Amino acid sequence: MAKVLPQISREFVREHASSNLVIIHNLVFDLTYFFSIHPGGEEILQEYLGLDATDAFESVGHSEHARTMMLKLVVGQVIASQHVEHPGNPWKAPLDNFPFRQVVA
């Protein structure tokens, strides 16, 4: 059975940037536990907290391994009416294979 992701507004992500939320391809990620292991350092991540970081994420050319690992950080998805479409599907693995965490704001 596929998991249903919580719907989160872009405004909520902006207002809760201090909760380490970021949007990539209409998915909302909690980067709290990722700062210390991000290969590029935590400073670059902090620049995008509360924002849509899709373009920055794609400009780096992340590996499939990195993309799969990122799915473990998903806490929700942007509400459908606020989706911003980007070409292609960046997530090869099905989303229902990952344990999503609840965001605590």
pLDDT tens figures, 56-78: 888 777 778 777 888 888 999 99
Instruction: Locate 90 and state its tokens.
Output: 């960046």
Confidence band of 82 (pLDDT split at 50, 70, 90): very high
Angle value at C-alpha 37, between 96 and 86, nearest 5 degrees: 50
Q: Is the pLDDT of residue 1 over 50?
A: no
CB neighbourhood size of 17 (10 A): 14
Q: Which CATH superfamily is domain 7-97 in?
A: Cytochrome b5-like heme/steroid binding domain (3.10.120.10)
pLDDT at 12: 97
Amino acid at 76: G
Q: Of 16-30, 35-49, 67-81, 90-104, which range is least confident?
A: 90-104
Return d(Cα 43, Cα 19) in angstroms, integer. Answer: 15
Mean pLDDT for all residues in the chain? 79
Amino acid at 5: L
Q: What is the pLDDT of residues 29-42, one digit of tens each?
A: 999 888 777 767 66
